[in-house]
Structures are given as C-alpha cells and as structure tokens.
Structure 1
Amino acid sequence: MNKWKKWIPALFLGMLLLLAACGGDSSGEGESTSGDGSGEGSEENADSGEKGEINIGLNNWAENVAVSNMWKVILENKGYTVNLTQVEKGALYTALESEDLDVGLEVWLPNTDKPFYDKFKDDLAWHEDWFEGTELGLYVPSYMEDINTMSDLKGKADQFDGKIVGIDAGSSLVSLTQEALPLYDLKDSYELQTSSGPVMTQELGKAVEDEEPIVVTLWKPHWVFAEYDVKLLEDPEKVYGEKENINWVSRKTFEDDLPEVTKTLNNWMMDDESLGSLMNMVKEEGEEAGAKKWVEENQDKVDEWTAPLSE
C-alpha cells in the first residue's frame, strides 16, 4: 500500500489536466458555433454577410415580392447579408432618401410612379429598366362579355355590389383609379375598396370560381394571368397611361458603396416568361423557398446577371 502512496499526487495531477483539457474542448466548440472565427462552426458561415449588408424595401405586389426574394437569395449566395422590409410605396422613397433603406426594386415609369419620381428625382439614384411593357388598370373576368371598357361600367354598379376591389391605399394604381372614376362618371355609383394585393387576388379567385361579377385593380406582370382568364378594360381617357417599363431605385450613395452590386442589378432583365415562372414558383412553394428553387433552375441566367460580382 505504501508504494502506491507516492503515485497518488501524480494521478491526481493527471486527472486535473484531463478535466482541463475536456473543458477546453467544450469551450472551443461553443466559441466556434458562436461565429468568433475559431473552429469549424465559424468556417461554415465565413462567407455569410462578409461583403456587406443590403436593405431592400418591398411593397406587397406579387412581382415585387418575387423579385425581392430572388435577389435576396442571389446576393446572399454571393456573400452579402440581405434584409427585406415591407413598406408602402410612398414610404419606400422617403426611407431611401433618409438612407434607412438601400434599394427598391420596382419603379413604374413614365406614368405610374411619376409623382414619386418628380418629388425625389434629385435625391435618389434611378437605374436601368429590368422589365418592358407593363399594363395596369381595371380588370374583369372574360366571361363578362358586355363589360369591355371603363364606360361599360356605368349603370351596372348593382352587378358588382357597387364596389371595385382595390389594393394598397398608398399605391399609384389606387390613386389613378380615384382619378379615373369621375372621368367615366362612376364616382357616385362605385366605391373603391382598398385592401392589399393578396386580398384582391383572393376575392378575384372566389368570384371566378363561382362565375360572379367582379372588377378589380390589377396589373401585368402578375401570376393571376396564368390562373384566371381576365381582361383589361379599355381606357380611352388614358388615365392609366400607355405601357410602361419597370426599373429600380436606390439611395444616392449606393453605387459608391457597392459598385459591383449596382452593375449586377443593371445587368438584370426579365420578360413575361421568366418573371411569370418566378412568380408562379413563389406562389406555389413560398416566398424564399420558391425563389431558391427558381434560382437553382435558372443558374445560367443568374450567372449572366452576376458577372460583375465575379470580376
């Protein structure tokens, strides 16, 4: 027994060293997953956000939701942190001016967003078109054969329960419709009900399913045209203007801070087919999941757009 006594201190010291080593390993694992740069956990997230942060403002239009989520996926794949902030159209421009947001991806010109352009043209940076040939106005289901122009709505308010289903109150489309109603002598017989894009499409879908009359504020591009047979009412007074293009806008200093991203977004171009497929995928799969799937299936197109990020 006595001969083992001399080993007791050594054994005790060995146990202490072993416990310290285990404690060190545990601490190291915790540090790596917290992202302080040590260990494998931090390496997995090493590219996430390292190139900068981009704040995108989006309104609740279907195509805006689709393209905003698409660019979130694309830019995060390239190492940026991207935040999406839902905001009404009017508030978007104010937030860009104050630099609370960096980018807005949908500006309709020369007509729909003209009031915003006139107000902020010197305070923001206006960029390249990414879609050409839009349409907007009042739409009805195609089975309403006797309603083909704005003037055809006159005297038929009872068919529509006296209402036009609108979208967001702050949208240019609603403002233009408010201008159109008195011009076509509809102001006293119709109420323009503001809601949101999703509410409008939900009511349209219910009406089409039951083959009921409905008139809605709508725009093209939109996934609705792949689902329902609807028609644009002719607008002889040209309140809604001619076909337009969609471009993007940023805070004034965005290009100075992120020139490669600016070049990339200026490379971006979509048509009815590509935008329609994106919108349908987002609708079917969910916003971010649908955008990821579309990006994966259209990588050649994405690579063309993002070439400046690889230079």
Structure 2
Amino acid sequence: MNFYKKGTFILLLSLIMLLTACSNSGESSEANADESNEGTDNGDPITIGQINWPENIAVTNMWKVILEDEGYDVELTLADMGVQMASVADGSLDVSPEVWLPVQDKSYYEEFKDQANFAEEPWYDNGVVGLAVPEYMDDINSIEDLNENKDKFNGEIIGFEPGAGTMEVTHDVIDEYDLDLELVESSEAAMIQSIRHAVENEEPIVAPLWQPHFIFAEVDLKFLDDPQKTYGETEEIFMATREGFESDYEDVYKWMTNWELTEEELGDLMVDVQENEENPMEGAQKWVEENQDVINEWKE
C-alpha cells in the first residue's frame, strides 16, 4: 500500500469511528433523556382542573409553581365541577383538586367514585358552608328567618356558577326549608361584587358562601343557623385523580397525597395570590418561596 492510499485508508477509518462515536453518544443522550423523563407520561403536561374560586385559584397556581420548579409541564384547565369530574373519570384530566365532602360534592363522589381515585385524606379539614348575610342584619340569624323577610331580599338568594356542589345543596336547602326565594345563578366574581355593593350601602343580601374565602376578611358576614344541617357541619377538601395517574407520576402523586394545609397556611396563600390578582402565579411563587419547609414535608 503506498503512502497516499494508506493515508486515505486511515482518514476513512477515523471518519467511520467518529461517526460511530457520535451515533452512540446520541443514543446515550436519548437514553439519559428518557431516564430523566421516566414517570412523566412521555412528557405530556400534567393537567389540573381550575375553578374561579379564590382558594382554588390559590392552590392550583401553587401546584403549578411547585411542579414546574421540579421540571414538569403543568396546564391549568378552567372548568366547572361537573366537567372536571367527568374529565377525571374519562382520563382527559389528571387532577381535580377540590372535592368538598361529606356534603357539598357528595353527588359527584357517588357518581364517579368507581371511575376516579379520591384521596383518602383531605388536604384541608376545616371548611364551613352555608347561607350568609351581613352582620348588621340583626333580625336574621337562621335559615328559618328568611321566608318572613323575603321581601328584603327581593325574593332572591344571590348564587354563583351552576353545577357547583354548594349550589346543588342550596337547591336542597330551598326545598327542605320550603323557602319562597329563588336561587340566582351568576359567577363567583359577580356574587362577591354584589355582596360588596350591598355591604357598602348597608342593604340586605343573602348568598351561599364558604370558608376559607377572602370576602370574610373584607366585610363582616355571618352564617345563618342551619337547624336541619342540610349544608352539613365541618367539610373537608379532597383531591381526585384519574385512573393511572398514580403510576404515571409516582412522585407527584405521593407529594399530592401528602399535601395538607392549615387554616393559617391556606389563608396566607390566598392573600398572596389575591394581592397579585393579575398574575396569580407571582403570588403563589412568593408563598412557595416562604414555605419551603411545608412543601418539603409533602415531598418526604
């Protein structure tokens, strides 16, 4: 073999070795990428249902911050409770984070308990639901007082989105107490604005409300006594996930089942998010940064 041919052969051999090494390196990178995405459902975003309620906006944005900090892609899907539960049941939504039990969302639990996974433990255990009026309405302290004062309320209970568990229970309250008032459907934002306007002008208003809710920090309201306990007593808030979520996202599922908030923690989170209403993720990010010790407990 002459020098020229020998040099050409060595050059070709080197090129083949280089291409082989690059190919192996690419395969190795792909393998490492696959390994890093293991358990993330092939990189699909985690979808979390969101309802336009203050505590729901707060916790959904909190989880978006936490999970995106961990490298997950998270998509918040705005939908009412009925749509959320049906979507979790058919597998098109990963997480519905706010199921109130034993009363408010009982109908959804009964309908979908065999098609979705409901967490065994609540993430919040001190919820209160009922009809509320301004504190200055001294002569109205029970649901049983409403009929004789129906004209003060123009025969209306100012409600929010139809399909919400509390709205369904309020229909039951109207039936069980034989109330001669109509439940007006609107939105949570419109209901809150009506309450603010009424209190500012010291006018009568009655609305189905729940705690935790920031409106109780803004204006003085009181829950009406519910002798028949139609709204129940203490409500707990649970998470529901689609079938298979626990195996597709083992770590996330573990963190979410460990998730627990005290009244003070949830209140602070809601305030931070409310103060950043135009960009709720900023408020959630602030809370997450200040409560890493709480979050780390969920990740243990």
Deviation digits for residues 14-57 of structure 1 (CA, Å, limit 9, x no counterpart): xxxxxxxxxxxxxxxxxxxxxxx9xxxxxxxx9xx996520001
Describe how 1:190-269 pairs up with structure 2 within 5 A.
190-269=181-260
1:146 to 139, 145, 150: 139
Q: Which runs of 5+ in 2 are unaligned?
A: 1-28, 30-36
Partner of 2:46: 54
Partner of 2:293: 300
Distance 1:277 1:196 in 2: 24
Are 1:85 and 2:84 counterparts? no
Deviation digits for residues 177-198 of structure 1 (CA, Å, limit 9, x no counterpart): 11111322313xx221111111
Distance 1:191 1:58 in 2: 27
2:127 to 127, 134, 146: 134
Q: Does the 8 A contact of 2:66 with 2:288 survive in 1?
A: yes
Q: Does the 8 A contact of 1:51 with 1:79 survive in 2?
A: no
Q: Does the 8 A contact of 2:135 with 2:222 survive in 1?
A: yes
Deviation digits for residues 95-123 of structure 1 (CA, Å, limit 9, x no counterpart): 11111110011111111111111111111
Distance 2:199 2:247 in 1: 49
The code of the aligned residue for 1:260 comes to: D
- Give the number of aligned pairs: 259
Q: TM-score, normalised by structure 1?
A: 0.80
Q: Does the 8 A contact of 1:88 with 1:171 survive in 2?
A: yes
Distance 1:256 1:302 in 2: 21
- With CA pairs under 8 Å and 6+ residues apart, which has the higher RCO, 1 or 2? 2
Distance 1:217 1:114 in 2: 17
The code of the aligned residue for 1:94 comes to: A
Partner of 1:15: none
2:168 to 167, 175, 188: 175
Describe how 1:265-276 pairs up with structure 2 within 5 A.
265-276=256-267
Where 2:148 maps in the other structure, the secondary structure is coil
Where 2:118 maps in the other structure, the secondary structure is strand
**How many Å apart are 1:241 and its aligned residue?**
1.2
Q: Percent identity?
A: 46
1:123 to 109, 112, 115: 115
Deviation digits for residues 147-179 of structure 1 (CA, Å, limit 9, x no counterpart): 110011112112112211101111111111111
The code of the aligned residue for 2:206 comes to: V
The code of the aligned residue for 2:240 comes to: V
Q: Does the 8 A contact of 1:154 with 1:184 survive in 2?
A: no
Partner of 1:109: 101
1:68 to 57, 60, 67: 60
Q: TM-score, normalised by structure 2?
A: 0.83
Segments ≥4 residues shifted beyond 6 Å: none
Distance 2:282 2:204 in 1: 35
Q: Does the 8 A contact of 1:129 with 1:248 survive in 2?
A: yes
